Structure 1
Amino acid sequence: MIWKDSVSVKLLSQSRQSLTCEIKLPGSSLFIYTAIYASNESAERTDLWIELLNLCQSFALSTVPWMIGGDLNQIIHYDEHSLASVNSFSKRMVELKDCLLQMGLFDMRFQGPLFTWTNRQPDDPIAKKLDRLLINNLVLNLFPNCTSFFLPALFSDHSPCLIDLSYKIPSSVWSLKLGLAPEALSRTSVDCFGNRKKSRVF
């Protein structure tokens, strides 16, 4: 994780599949963010769901704004699979859905494609919604206009997610440095958002 000095970040917990931090933006209340990179193995993913439930209880995360973002490697509804043959709930779907219900988490309002992963096999294409940005109700109280954007997958088989909290950080502390040359940043911007001549890239 990378952040500016003006943002306070405190590590609360980490494991092979998750990283949980307490984040404080200037002029705002703190919130909790958990980054997820779930295992390809279903048994290990079950361990992750149990780990998240334990985190929720240990840190009383149902009482503070909490976000979870990343690759969960599991859909929660058969509509999140591109194949028509996947048309019923599996044990794994129900397992994750029940976990999210217990934690009071749901998808942040988002724009972009439903399917965030593809196998990139033209002869046998499969797409799924494996990546999510999840929040509880307290996040909406803190950032009522927050939105997530799933962008085109340029270099990966997953779509990157951009979160807009619609929160204005005081200008005296706002500065973003990107590790891209200006021409590379410009090409990426055009690829993702089109050629908007009046747009500015900061």
Structure 2
Amino acid sequence: MIWKDSVSVKLLSQSRQSLTCEIKLPGSSLFIYTAIYASNESAERTDLWIELLNLCQSFALSTVPWMIGGDLNQIIHYDEHSLASVNSFSKRMVELKDCLLQMGLFDMRFQGPLFTWTNRQPDDPIAKKLDRLLINNLVLNLFPNCTSFFLPALFSDHSPCLIDLSYKIPSSGTRPFKFFNYLTLHPDFHSVVSEAWSCAGSIVSNLSGLDRYYQRQHQNCLNKNNWRSRSGSS
């Protein structure tokens, strides 16, 4: 582990598959972070789940903000496997899911791909969500906007995870773009869109620019109509 001088880190527990630290950031309350690198052997992973349950009890981690991050080497739902043949819960899935439930842990809000690992075999591709960033409710009380980002895999077959504890959530007033699919059924749809885009020419390079362009054109039409109305009444 590497950290800046301004951050206080205290090692609480260490084993072959996990490392647990108490972390204190400047101007913030302390929290607990457990880094995981789970074994490829299912029996050893079961030992890890028991170890985490014991940690939770020994250090009363349900009473403090607690994060777990890393390669758990196990999915908790069949949707986290790319193969359609994996379509039911296995004993190993239920085992980990029950462990997380007992500890009160759940996935931090995240952005990026669902699958965080691939076998990198184009002829027989397989992808799974093996990496997670888990938190308890007290983490949300301390860092209400925390968000994790799963980035593209570069040198490893796993996606790296970046945590932003103060990510700025888009305001609720931001209106999403809406498009009504039934419009595409109109016989003139393609010709109207093509004409509009051609008229805009080099003025716009994306849909946002096109929208602003036509808002200005619409306002100009309104101004002209208002001027004509005033001229006709004078």
TM-score, with length taken from structure 2? 0.71
For 2:48, what is the secondary structure of its paired residue? helix
Larger radius of gyration: 2
Asked if 1:86 is matched to 2:86, the reply is yes
Secondary structure, counterpart of 2:49 in structure 1: helix
Q: Distance in 1 between matches of 2:27 and 2:129?
A: 34
Deviation of 1:43 (Å): 0.1
Query: For each residue in 1:107-149, what CA deviation from the matched residue of structure 2 results, as whole angstroms up to 9, or x when unmatched?
Result: 0000000000000000100000000000000000000000000
- Cα shift readout 1:83-105 (whole Å, capped 9, x = no counterpart): 00000000000000000000000
CA distance in 1, matches of 2:29, 2:115: 33
State the structure with bigger RCO (CA 8 A, min sep 6), 1 or 2: 1
Q: What is the letter of the counterpart of residue 86 of structure 1?
A: V
Of Structure 1 and Structure 2, which has the larger fraction of its residues in helix? Answer: 2
Residue pairs, 1:122-201, within 5 angstroms: 122-166=122-166
Q: Distance in 2 between matches of 1:85 and 1:140?
A: 36
Q: Look up the match of 2:25.
A: 25
Q: C-alpha separation between the residues in 2 aligned to 1:28 and 1:156? A: 33
Q: 1:123-181 CA deviation, whole Å, 9 max, x = no partner?
A: 100000000000000000000000000000011100000000008xxxxxxxxxxxxxx
Alignment pair present for 1:56 and 2:53: no
Paired-residue identity, %: 100
Match of 1:11 in 2: 11
Structure-2 separation of matches of 1:84 and 1:4:
45
Q: How many residues align?
A: 167
1:51 Cα offset (Å):
0.1
SS, match of residue 74 in structure 2: coil
* Stretches of 4+ aligned residues off by more than 6 angstroms: none
Please give the TM-score of this superposition, normalised by the length of structure 1: 0.82
Alpha-carbon distance in structure 2 between the residues aligned to 1:67 and 1:111: 17
Structure 2 gaps of 5+ residues are 168-234
Give the aligned partner of residue 172 of structure 1: none
Structure 1 portions without partners, runs of 5+: 168-202
Q: CA deviation at 1:82?
A: 0.0
Match of 2:194 in 1: none
Q: Which residue identity lines up with residue 11 of structure 2 in the other structure?
A: L
Matching residue of 2:231: none
Aligned position for 1:45? 45
Q: How many Å separate the matches in 1 of 2:8 and 2:150?
A: 26
